[in-house]
Every structure is written in C-alpha cells, then in structure tokens.
Structure 1
C-alpha cells in the first residue's frame, strides 16, 4: 500500500517536472509577438495587421490567435482590413481570472471594452468554432458596434455532446488542478495527432496547421480554459439560441459538409433558417467534403464572405470621414 502510494507520488512529481519544463521551453521558443491591452485588470494579448475597416478574429477552443496566421487568413485579409486577432481569455498569452465565469457573454463584454481601449469604434467580427458564440454574443450585446458577423463551423444549439464529460475534467477544482499540471498535458500530447485528424477529417491535417506548437495549447493554464469552455458549451448555446430573434446584424455562415466536430445540419443550417425566419440577413455557405477547419481548407471562401459583409454595410463612418478629410486637404493644397 505504502509502496504504491509512494510510486504514485513519484510519478506525479515526474509528470509535473516534465510539464513545467515543456511549458517553459515552448514559451521561450514562442514569445508573444503581438500587443497587450489591459481591461478591468485583465491583460489581453492580440495580433494586429494591416489597415482599413476593422475585422476582429476570434479563435476556437484549444488553439489561440496565431491559428489565423497559420491558416493564411491574416495575410490575405490584412491587404485591405485592419485585422485584430485576440487570444481569448486563458489562451495564448491572455489572462483568465478564476473569479469570473467566462461565458460567451462575459468574453464579449471584455473584448468589446478591449477594442474600445485600442481605438476601435466598429468592426466586422469573425468567429471560428467556440469563438462563434463569443461573436454572436457581441452581435447581440452591441449591434451598433458590430457591423456584421462571419461564423465558421459554429456550435449554436444545445445538442448532446458525449465528449464534454472527458474534455471538462481539467476544469474540476482541486482534482482538475492536479491533473492539468501532471497527467493531462502528457495524455493530451499523445492524443494530439488523433485530435488534429478528427478536426480536419475527411481532409488531411494541413501542413500550415502543423506549424502550431502543441505544447502552447497544452500548458496547464490553457488546458483549464479549454476544459472550462467544454463544460460551458451546452448551457452557453442554450442561452444564445433563445435570443436569436434579437439579432440585428447581417450574418455570413460557413460550414464544412463533413464536419465531424459540429454537425452542420443541426447548427449552421438551422441557424441560417432561424435568422432568416426572424426577418434578418443571413447567407449560408456549405463547403463540400470539408471538415471543421474550413479556414484552412478554403481560406479564399472566408475572405469572400467577409468582403460580402463589408460591401453590404459599406465603409465605417470613421473611415469615410478620414477619406473626406484627406480629399479636403488635397483640394486645399491644389493637388
């Protein structure tokens, strides 16, 4: 008995040392490359590229803002938009205090204040996977700020999720804390190839996605955020779906027909019908033979959807004013 306990304790200690070493190493090799903004005492990290109308990108569960760089979206979009991609609370290099229940609504409020803090007065908002719920929440909360939504592979209705009980375990107080500093990251690293295969199926895992360092996603803090959001999926979707009749911004919805993570018929297709049923603007784009990671499979289709929203809502007032001022200055100088 005592021998077993001692061996178990030694195994946990060894796991802890490995996890701490791997986490420190991956952070040294991948330091923050963006900017920081502090809101309500919470420090958020974000990437910013380009100029023009503001486009905000919100990543899904398990990854971080760099996902949009790896997919190639940020490079393409920064040619004509001011693209801002946040590490959502608890991911990448953003903080996630345990004193707050980080529902989509809570995250939307925080990110809206963060955007105001860096001088943004309106934006098109894109979300992928779990990030679509934060994007929807922002569209519901501040429709005068959100000019339109682009939703990729989203989970919008409270459907059965058999993966939640296992995925949520690292968020359990005390037991989960021990797990995510010892066993959970090591097990997750072994399962990483299978998880990636599942997300991209039926396509092969993109070579661009392989640039993502697994241990950045498997650090204890990010595992807690991922687990907490897995536990929140169903109640969050339940809350948001009840308010869809209040949505007043145009929406572009994109989903892969072969998505094995979130079934398009139960979510993207249903959302499109519900939004149209409430008399609002929605367009649905189903990508044949594509899985959950649509922004890797067809980034150009995502760009087309964003451009469609931008064309529909026109130039932001601030940009029109800047252009008018520039023309006036040019006229005064005789140019």
Structure 2
C-alpha cells in the first residue's frame, strides 16, 4: 500500500468514526433531554409544543429564534409570566428541539406560517397574539400577512426585517448545502459549534452576562445535533432572502405590532426595528437600554405586558 493510499485510508477511517460518534451523541442528547410537552401532527410534520395556563383564557403563541428551541423562552421567564392570564402555546419550530423538518420542503417563514396556521386551527386556537424572537419574528410576520388565519397582534423582538450585506449569515449556511453540508454536519460541524458556542452566547447576551439559569438549564447538546445544525444553517441562508421578500408587504400588516430591540444588540442592529416601526401605522417600538440580542431576558415583564395589551 502506497503512502497516499495509507493517508486516504486514515482519513476515511477518521470520517467514519466521526459520523458514528455524532450519531451516538445525537441519540444520547435526545435521551438526556426528552420532550417536555405534547405533539401535534399536521401536514405530515410532527410538532413539539408546550401548553401552559388556563385553556379558556386568551391565547398567546411563542416562536423562538434560529438555533435554539422552546426552552429558551421558558428560561427567559416569558412563558410563566404570560401563563398568569393566558393560555400559552410555545413551539419548537421545524427542525429544532423535538419538531420534525422534512427535507421535502423549503422551510421559509411563509412555509412555517402555513404549517402553524393549520396546526393552531387543528388545536382549536382562534385569534391568538403571537410573539417571535429573532428569526421567529419572520414567522410571526408571515402569520400576520395571512388572510385565512386572523390574529389579534404580534410582538417582534430582536428581528431582522430589511436585507443588507450580511456575510456572516451566508458563512453560517454551509451545513445546509446538500451532500457537502451533510458530511460537514456529521463530522466536524458539531465540534466547531461546541468550540464557538461560548463566545456566541456572550455576543448574544452582551452587554449583560450570560444568565446562570440559562447556563444551567438550556439543553446545549440538542443544539449540536447534526439535524438541528442543518435547520440552523438553512435559516441562516434564508434570512436575507426572506427579509427581501417581505419588505414590500409590511404595510399590509393590519394587526397591531409591538417592537422590542436591545439598544446594544451586536447581532442584529437596532436600526432594523426603527425602520420597521416607521413603515407600520399600528406599531410601537421600545429600545431597551443595557440589552443585547436576548432582549427577551432583559425586558421579559414589559414584553409580557405588551402581549397582554394586544386587542
């Protein structure tokens, strides 16, 4: 066997071991962090969600951002705050947490909104208020733009609404590329993601520290699974095109809109929310000082109050 053949063989063996290791890691992560809520199957997709509060109270629906899952909104305190006077449904969006994300569909914000509109109707939910954080704001907007499922208002936190040059998001989309992305996701991507995660979390929560409760309770291992890395990479790739698609449609939003943004957000500039507030007639904007991208932790009580006030 030549030297080149030995090198190729070693590389192949390493790749096989990495693939097997990541499959085992994914199984262990899901066993350590089993589903905490219920499931509803809609349009061939199994969605995981939690249902809190009184069933006959006004309903609010919560959508998390890219790369995370419903535990994020639980740890922030929003679920508990809203459950005092509402029925709260908080979903794992497709591909995150314990919700499925079939590869047969392109999961834009519009596609996700169609899925959730059907799921909510299936659950008997009518005229909810909807909150979206970060990428979840686009799903909330897509729901508000639908004519077949009325909602009483939306709260948008730390959203990206207008396209601009964001090379960082394109670079994060690599694991979504067919075949090449699959190889990356099942080999080195989980390792790289694990190494950069601490600095990413500091950036998201900056200028505040990462809360101890988040560190202790958030199931990090679920975010490092190859299938969730694919969902996160796809949404990084979709972010700018979806914002470009929606830009001309914002004036068509007929329900009240409440905007929240951290004044020191280092991921998505607060100017995004200022600009959206200017084009929406029925909107209000609150810029939260000493808060970054995770404004849901910095201003949870006011966000809950804004949702409760939607009529």
TM-score (normalizing by structure 1) = 0.89
SS at match of 2:129: strand
SS at match of 2:183: helix
Misfit runs of 4+, over 3 Å: none
Alignment of 1:6-25 (within 5 A): 6-25=9-28
Shift, 1:24, TM fit: 1.2
Distance 2:120 2:96 in 1: 17
SS at match of 2:228: helix
Could you tell me which residue of structure 2 aligns to residue 285 of structure 1?
A: 286
The higher radius of gyration belongs to 1
Shift, 1:182, TM fit: 1.3
Distance 2:100 2:29 in 1: 18
- Select between 36-45 and 128-137 the one with higher mean Cα deviation: 36-45
1:219 paired with 2:222, answer no
Distance 1:174 1:133 in 2: 28
Note if contact 2:49-2:90 (Cα within 8 Å) is conserved in structure 1.
yes
Note if contact 1:58-1:65 (Cα within 8 Å) is conserved in structure 2.
yes
Note if contact 1:105-1:134 (Cα within 8 Å) is conserved in structure 2.
yes
CA pair 156-291 structure 1, distance change in 2 beyond 3 A? same
Distance 1:140 1:237 in 2: 14
Could you tell me which residue of structure 2 aligns to residue 328 of structure 1?
A: none
1:257 paired with 2:263, answer yes
Shift, 1:14, TM fit: 2.3
Note if contact 1:259-1:290 (Cα within 8 Å) is conserved in structure 2.
yes
Distance 1:22 1:32 in 2: 17
- Pick from 164, 168, 171 the counterpart of residue 163 of structure 1: 168
Unaligned runs of 5+ in 1: 314-335
Distance 1:293 1:252 in 2: 16
- Pick from 56, 59, 63 the counterpart of residue 54 of structure 1: 59
- Pick from 29, 36, 43 the counterpart of residue 26 of structure 1: 29
Distance 2:148 2:274 in 1: 23
Unaligned runs of 5+ in 2: none
Alignment of 1:27-106 (within 5 A): 27-51=30-54, 52-106=57-111
Shift, 1:274, TM fit: 0.9
Alignment of 1:155-194 (within 5 A): 155-194=160-199
Distance 1:75 1:6 in 2: 54
Q: 1:99-126 CA deviation, whole Å, 9 max, x = no partner?
A: 1111101100100100000111110000
Distance 1:6 1:144 in 2: 56
- Select between 63-72 and 139-148 the one with higher mean Cα deviation: 139-148
- Number of aligned residue pairs: 305
- Please give the root-mean-square deviation of Cα atoms over the aligned residues, in Å: 1.1
